[in-house]
A and B are shown apart, each in its own frame.
Chain A
């Protein structure tokens, strides 16, 4: 494929942090949309753990609740989104733990950006078009550290730009004078301004080309090693996650249906939806393989049937799937560090063996 021999330059993937060191713990988070008698339950008791130094990929189709999860966990969810239950525990650098959902407004304001920063989906619309990059970078620094002198903040802004590979003389530019990739880098620089512990990236590269996407993600991964933050990477592109993430959580219809080490999700998917999702991507490299796709369409969350939300599209659906909602539990193979929400993996329910695709 490539003319050059790359064996000497292969980057060694960083090992995932020890599982006992969580920096962000989401517990039983539930979110509704709508205040009336009949709200739509978008997230139902979602639990997720982000370990220190880890890149956690959140995969799923549009409308599955992956962005809602990120915004709810940071209390950025706009109405009519309503958090109806759960806890979000953030462990500070000093080891203190705090529930983000229980913080006062002042505490929350201080914690955002300093502890958790978000890179939003469209850099185009997230930067203010009438202010120079410099002012937007400095703004956040001054708001959180009011005693910083302006010259110092300016120095810091220049440093941040250099960090993401933009020369400091771009500080005086307006957003429209930058290309899409540069704007996205500015967004990342802004998010890193206060050295957060957790960086949430919501589809950071969807609007970019593959070449730019790779450049930016590699830069983030390199910065993560240098500055030591953890990343939640939200995207619909599973093949991208397999390459950059340490762990992947697959979401479907407001629920996490599978979590595992990135490579395992790709090599050995345990949930029929994960398997279907992987079978929807045409591979660019390697042999051509038969693509299956997933029949049907993602469900309407306001008309959720009882039982497993994936059952109507699932090739292995059983009677119990249409009645009872599966919960996240061990896989049938009882693997370490893997969870799956599927009746096929609940012992005693399967007549016979697991489908071949899920038993690899």
Chain B
């Protein structure tokens, strides 16, 4: 599957948050029950390649934002590995973290909250430039050199003429322009990886496309690897090369975006695709399909989840096997895999139907 070493990869990435009484640590303390673990992310494997966009699609609470934060190492992971260019990249301490974020940058969902309102664009960008480029260029970036770098950054995110934006404050900019500034700030580090956590979901529909096209342009021109976290599977089809579907903290399906959206393998992906609004579907076929897919119920509680497939309680095909053993990702076709017993060769596997063509 992998043609080259991925820039950033995660193997068995796991994050458990502690729930309940914090210091209980497995014993009863002061009569309270022991702390329980929220299995937010459980054994997720991801690979980000240069010049490619990987979309991580899932409902809220599926752990997709946690994945982004773990990869950015903003929060420590409980288990698994993060590999940067094939070498273990778990950071310990500030220096290592800074060296890491120089190569892996993050864009946040809300450009209204991620830019400091009391500082003009110049401050925000200068700070990022100085933090990340000081060592490579020796001495503080200043004067004409700084101006040139600022202009270049703003031009890269298509905010031209740069002079018009460099001294404005975030409140003077529209949502789309703000998100461009946030992207420019990430680019200041000249990163190899961009982690974009729902970069367009707070923006107006008419300007979302502009931001996605900008990110696609950065991918093509600078060869940056992009992780695109989204709940909108249609935009994943449009923008991402590959798509990973996450449900209740686990990967359900992997594959190139076109096949994942057009011929979903996993029952959950099928439900997701059928639920998306479809203006062309005038006969209401999607609605009927959703009813057949057995939508009853909601994502399971992630506090000490039971064994078995996490989608099993909602899955119309689920059998005893699904409720007792957790399926691993099974390669169904080249480059496509699904964590569903239906694609295994076990005798007691459920019948999930033919792979829809």
Contact = CB atoms under 8 A, between A and B. Distances in A.
A350 interface: no
A92 interface: no
A280 B200 CA distance: 12
Given A3-B353, A11-B287, A211-B272, A181 B298 contact: yes
B271 A236 contact: no
B273 interface: yes
Majority DSSP secondary structure for residues of B touching A: helix
Nearest to A13: B284
Interface in A247-297: 263, 266, 276-277, 280-286, 288, 291-295, 297
B238 A288 contact: yes
B289 A1 contact: yes
Contact of A2 (B238, B261, B274, B280): B274
Contacts of A285: 273, 276, 278, 280-281
Interface stretch (A40-48, A104-112, A237-245, A334-342): A237-245
A212 B298 contact: yes
Interface stretch (A29-37, A144-152, A156-164, A213-221): A213-221
A242 B284 CA distance: 11
A309 B356 CA distance: 46
A33 B136 CA distance: 52
Nearest to A242: B279
B169 to A, nearest CB: 15
B122 interface: no
Interface string B220-244: 0000000000010111011100000
Given A2-B274, A210-B275, A283-B280, A293 B356 contact: no
Given A1-B274, A210-B275, A243-B279, A284 B233 contact: yes
Nearest to A9: B288
A236 B204 contact: yes
A85 interface: no
Nearest to B289: A2
Contact of A284 (B176, B276, B284, B287): B276
Size class of B's contact patch?
35 or more
B331 interface: no
B282 interface: yes
B279 A214 contact: no
Nearest to A206: B201
A61 interface: yes
B205 A280 contact: yes
A340 to B, nearest CB: 18
Given A211-B59, A297-B174, A10 B205 contact: no
Interface in B315-357: 352-354, 356
Nearest to A289: B238
B168 interface: no
Nearest to B267: A3
A6 interface: yes
Contacts of B208: 280, 293
Interface in A176-212: 179-181, 207, 209-212
B176 A297 contact: yes
A126 B253 CA distance: 36
B213 interface: yes
B285 interface: yes
Interface string B262-297: 100000001111111111111111111111110100
A284 B261 contact: yes
B354 A210 contact: no
A268 B160 CA distance: 35
Contacts of A125: none
Interface of B: 59-60, 174-177, 204-210, 213, 231, 233-235, 237-239, 258, 261-262, 270-293, 295, 298, 352-354, 356
